[in-house]
Chain A
């Protein structure tokens, strides 16, 4: 397809100049509309109280760094993948491993659960995305039914089923994203625009349209139209690789998180306030969870732009985070070989307890920061759940 309006003798430097001019113009246009920050608009909204999250389950079994995880729509199962080449499907309620597969490569950086719950997809250094149907027939070898769907020319960094088992969207170190038909393995659409490895992607909530957002090592977050392959908008607000992008459940905003230690919430038109690392907004959107290299997870109040909690417990970098489909829990995976599923231990009623330090069951909150959770089990997934509000008297 010819490059419209570009003369053959345009040099690299004239292109770069034009690029800079256009970027300034874009910044100007955006700045004109940037009349307020989100937390200012949300000024009169009550702040969230302190809350505490407890590990309820620890899933053990990976032999090396956990790189990715995804929940099943049944809110109970999850799939995780690891540097050691293993992909495991867990029943988070019982902590049983229901399926396990060994990939032919190490560093399985991406995994996803099919919407039907009947299959999983995964890939990494093999440059492919493969789909494995899940079967409970003990006589069947899961690896035998493997189907190679996507083929990239560099590592697979992320994958996601669209709203059916029939199509998969992939992101790769080759700088492209691509949409594939699972049955035939055919490439349906490819998405070019990143100038370096694409590290992450997230599909818009299905009710809000056919778009997805991707983030890359070129520091750009790009929003794409699934059908046409066109990039609708791009944002260059980070100073470093974008490790994670997530759509807000409303569909008209997304958050991006980067090695530069900031998280941006970008409404698909102007840009908003900043926040942090690997994020996962959930079904409603008040909270944003971010995981870090320093082994912690921060929980942020999106409206206020403030941090409401820090969670400890992992013994190495947090590599992946997802909230369960019904928002009752979230799961984090780490380089410490484990996954932790977390929910809230209690929720403090704001009117009653704001500013009063209270000790609950041995876990001591301090000004909104949760102290280290006793290491009562080894590596694995830890699942935290919300439980009812239980206030215990101050323990002296």
Chain B
């Protein structure tokens, strides 16, 4: 069983957790947003050809297409 339940923690315990975490984070190295945005944009555009939700799928390949009926003549 996980060691704590937040309901059992005092406000002070929670404050201690928060301060410790923030101290670690302030020291992290960060990159410019513009650089990160470019990377994300490249990633998305590179995959655009494989992107079924944007490009579509032909009805034959569509696994959920409407099923045809049968006519007995």
Contacts and interface: CB of A to CB of B under 8 A. Distances in A.
Contact of A15 (B2, B19, B36): B19
B63 interface: yes
B71 interface: no
B6 to A, nearest CB: 3
Given A341-B64, A347-B54, A33 B30 contact: yes
A233 B29 CA distance: 11
Interface string B30-69: 1111101111110111011011111111110011111000
A269 B37 CA distance: 11
Contact of A327 (B1, B23, B51, B65): B51
Contacts of B40: 38, 248, 250, 252-253, 267, 285, 302
Nearest to B37: A41
A386 B53 contact: yes
B47 A283 contact: yes
Contacts of A160: none
Contacts of A33: 30-33
Nearest to A179: B2
B72 interface: no
A197 B6 contact: yes
A270 to B, nearest CB: 5
Classify chain A's interface size. 35 or more
Interface stretch (A133-141, A169-177, A314-322, A355-363): A169-177
A196 interface: yes
Given A174-B7, A270-B33, A328 B39 contact: no
B19 to A, nearest CB: 5
A354 interface: no
A343 interface: yes
Nearest to B54: A286
Contact of A35 (B9, B33, B58, B65): B33
Interface residues of B, number: 55
Nearest to A48: B54
Contact of A26 (B20, B25, B36): B25
Q: Which of B16, B53, B64 has the most CB of A within 10 A?
A: B53
A328 B58 CA distance: 11
A389 B62 CA distance: 12
Contact of B31 (A194, A270, A389): A270
A177 B4 CA distance: 10
B53 A344 contact: yes
B6 A19 contact: no
A12 B63 contact: no
A263 to B, nearest CB: 15
Interface stretch (A78-86, A110-118, A151-159, A364-372): A151-159
B70 interface: no
A3 interface: yes
A388 B51 contact: no
A286 B45 CA distance: 8
Contact of A18 (B19, B25, B39, B54): B19
B11 A347 contact: no
Given A15-B16, A192-B17, A23 B22 contact: yes
Contacts of B53: 282, 284, 286-287, 323, 327-328, 330, 343-344, 386
Interface in A17-36: 18-19, 22-23, 25-26, 29-30, 33-36
Contact of B6 (A75, A196, A328): A196
B52 A386 contact: yes
A144 interface: no
B54 A41 contact: no
A93 B62 contact: no
B63 A93 contact: yes
25 contacts: A15-B18, A18-B19, A22-B23, A22-B25, A25-B26, A26-B22, A33-B32, A41-B34, A56-B66, A174-B2, A193-B17, A231-B24, A234-B21, A269-B30, A284-B54, A285-B47, A286-B48, A323-B53, A327-B51, A328-B63, A343-B57, A383-B64, A386-B53, A387-B58, A388-B57
Interface of B: 1-7, 9, 11-12, 14-26, 28, 30-34, 36-41, 43-45, 47-48, 50-59, 62-66
Given A22-B23, A250-B44, 4 more contacts: A194-B6, A269-B30, A282-B53, A287-B53
